[in-house]
A and B are shown apart, each in its own frame.
Chain A
């Protein structure tokens, strides 16, 4: 959809090279020794984690463990926080995501995000989907893009007769699928999801989970969730984060264990993971 010439050259060139390299082809994000600071406050320390292509990677852990902070680093959302500073490296298809030539807007086109609370624009269903492609300069068949995105998000049949109706009139579950359709419309490579089902009922949650299973054939998905059963149900790999509290009371998130989901939920290697997934806290 987006003409390659509109991309930032540094990202495009390196991306093309990176994708073509067999050893990086399966790794979409190579997070190496990532630490995130807000001012002098160390929020997350030393996270090393690969994210594999066409897989759902789940990040779990208690509140304040830094899982959302790490997720937001993956499409440079933390750039919008003036005091935030990122140390270490995030390689995206082998390219330093925080390299000086990399355009964060282009990063966010390739790496979309779906938030905890559905946040459709106060516009029509159609315009919600068309918005991204339009500002990316898309000049093709917008109707086809809207229909295709809504179909991919399993929403088309429910909204095809009211595309000009307000997006905010949809149910919570429909709004969240609309947000997924909106993310898909700009043809991203990765979809980040920050607790996408936490405000939805079990039926809407099941639909989103089903949708994630379908989408992962074409996209790479990283999901932050408080619902451990959701992580167990949908993800291929799981990273468990926890909070270390220093002597002076500072709380810093760390990655405890990262493994195939089946391993994390049947034979975790770290007792802190075992305690968390089995519900034995404190």
Chain B
């Protein structure tokens, strides 16, 4: 039987797995958008299959987090790290699911006509949310608060493009097939917007890890005061 790991050993292993999940999730989102733009069914199917890796990591991390809490009773900085990893783990798993949603949508619209303008806007959203995931995970691995605070600004164009998408789709109303395709693209825009929000949430968790105080960077229901 293996000797139990030290708390530091557990924390290092958990962090390494979370960083790996971040890389896979970012990769999946990028490939799901690429598959959409290229109508690449095989690539979309690969993204769907790759989600099993994220899910397995999610379950493994979740189980070990509980075990570490029960056996090592971490406190102070260790406890904040555990808490941050609990949340980041869930956010990355959700991001993986968004990539799957995008890929599955492609499979359902592959025979429909498309609008180059809408595709270009979705590409633009994808080009922003990928770096958002990378930046939030880099802020985590470098313990960099300044980097965390860049996330809300990065998210602005994603929100703007998502908000404008329904108008672009409505403009397709005269062509029923194109409208059918467009409605599904609106859902993809929503998924990409959620990916951006999850990246902001990850950065908020890193902020908590570093400062000991949880603070939402953005809040849909209230104005959030700028950081003093």
Contact = CB atoms under 8 A, between A and B. Distances in A.
Interface of A: 228-229, 232, 264-268, 273-274, 277-279
B7 A265 contact: no
Nearest to B211: A267
A41 B108 CA distance: 82
Contacts of A265: 75-76, 79
B174 interface: no
A266 B80 CA distance: 7
Contacts of B213: 267
B77 A274 contact: yes
B127 interface: no
A268 B76 CA distance: 7
* Chain B interface, DSSP helix/strand/loop, else mixed: helix
Interface of B: 7, 73-80, 211-213
Contacts of A229: 73
Contacts of B79: 265-266
Contacts of A277: 75-76
B75 A228 contact: yes
Contact of B74 (A264, A267, A278): A278
* Chain A interface, DSSP helix/strand/loop, else mixed: helix
A170 to B, nearest CB: 31
Contacts of B77: 274, 278
A232 B73 CA distance: 11
B215 to A, nearest CB: 13
A229 B77 CA distance: 16
A11 B7 CA distance: 51
Given A232-B75, A268-B76, 8 more contacts: A229-B73, A266-B76, A266-B79, A266-B80, A267-B80, A274-B76, A277-B75, A278-B74
Contact of A267 (B7, B73, B212): B212
A212 to B, nearest CB: 20
Given A266-B212, A267-B212, A278 B80 contact: no
Nearest to B212: A267
B205 to A, nearest CB: 15
A229 B73 CA distance: 8
Contacts of A278: 7, 74-78
